[in-house]
Structure 1
Amino acid sequence: MRRLFRKNNIGWLFVLISVIGVSIFYFYPMVDALLLSFQSGMGSNLDYTGLDNWARLFNDPTFISALTNTFTYLIIQVPMMIIFALIFSVLLNDPTLKFRGLFRTAIFLPAVTSLVAYSVIFKYMFSGNGIVNQFLMNLAIISEPINFLTDSFWAKIVIILAITWRWTGYNMIFYLSALQNIDNSIYEAARIDGASIFQQFTKITIPMLKPIILFTTITSTIGTLQLFDEVVNITGGGPGNATITISQYIYNLSFEYTPNFGYAATVSYVIVILVVILSAIQFKVAGDKE
Structure 2
Amino acid sequence: MRRRNGTAYGFLAPYLVIFTAFWVWPILYSFWLSFLATRQPPWTFRPAMTWGRLPQDPAFLNALENTLVILVVQVPLMVALATVLAVLLNSTLLKARGLMRFAFFAPIVVGEVAYAAVFRLMFTADRGIVNKGLGLVGLPPVDWFSNPTAAMALIMIAVTWRWAGYNAIIILSGLQSIPDDVYEAATLDRVSPVRQFFFITLPLLRPVILFCVVMSVIGSMQLFAEPFLITNRGGPGGATETLGVFLYRQGFTVLNFGYASAVAYTIAALAVAISVLNLWLGRERA
* TM range, smaller chain: over 0.9
Question: Which of the residues 27, 49, 70 maps onto 1:30?
Answer: 27
Question: Which of the residues 41, 48, 69 maps onto 2:38?
Answer: 41
Deviation at 1:232, TM superposition (A): 0.9
The question of 1:205 aligning with 2:201 is answered yes
Deviates more, 1:152-161 or 1:206-215: 206-215
Deviation at 1:96, TM superposition (A): 3.2
The question of 1:217 aligning with 2:210 is answered no
The question of 1:139 aligning with 2:147 is answered no
List gaps (5 residues or longer) in structure 2. Answer: none
Summarize the alignment of residues 207-286 of structure 1 with structure 2, pairs less than 5 Å apart.
207-236=203-232, 237-257=234-254, 259-286=255-282
Q: In structure 1, what residue type is equivalent to 2:108?
A: A
Q: What is the aligned residue count? A: 283
TM-score, normalised relative to structure 2 = 0.93
For 1:190 and 1:198, how far apart are their aligned partners in 2? Answer: 11
Are 1:46 and 1:262, in contact at CA under 8 Å, matched by a contact in 2?
no
Residues 44 and 11 (structure 1 numbering): CA distance in 2 closer, same or farther, change over 3 Å? farther
Q: In structure 2, what residue type is equivalent to 1:245?
A: T
Are 1:162 and 1:230, in contact at CA under 8 Å, matched by a contact in 2?
yes
Question: Which of the residues 171, 185, 196 maps onto 1:175?
Answer: 171
Deviation at 1:244, TM superposition (A): 0.3
Deviation at 1:172, TM superposition (A): 1.0
Q: Provide, for residues 205-244 of structure 1, a one-character-per-residue CA deviation record: whole Å limited to 9, x for no partner.
A: 2222222212111111111111111101111211111110
The residue number in structure 1 matching 2:83 is 86
For 2:41 and 2:243, how far apart are their aligned partners in 1? Answer: 22
Deviation at 1:97, TM superposition (A): 1.8
Q: Provide, for residues 244-272 of structure 1, a one-character-per-residue CA deviation record: whole Å limited to 9, x for no partner.
A: 01111111112223x11101111111111
Q: In structure 2, what residue type is equivalent to 1:228?
A: F
The RMSD of aligned alpha carbons is: 1.8
For 1:111 and 1:192, how far apart are their aligned partners in 2? Answer: 40
Deviation at 1:17, TM superposition (A): 4.3
Summarize the alignment of residues 60-209 of structure 1 with structure 2, pairs less than 5 Å apart.
60-129=57-126, 130-142=128-140, 145-209=141-205
Q: In structure 2, what residue type is equivalent to 1:59?
A: Q
Residues 5 and 158 (structure 1 numbering): CA distance in 2 closer, same or farther, change over 3 Å? same
For 1:186 and 1:14, how far apart are their aligned partners in 2? Answer: 49
Residues 11 and 118 (structure 1 numbering): CA distance in 2 closer, same or farther, change over 3 Å? same
Report the 3-state secondary structure (helix = DSSP H, G, I; strand = E; otherwise coil) of the residue aligned with 1:140.
coil
For 1:195 and 1:47, how far apart are their aligned partners in 2? Answer: 69
Are 1:111 and 1:167, in contact at CA under 8 Å, matched by a contact in 2?
yes
Q: Provide, for residues 267-286 of structure 1, a one-character-per-residue CA deviation record: whole Å limited to 9, x for no partner.
A: 11111110110111011111
Indicate the percent of aligned positions where both proteins have the same amino acid: 39
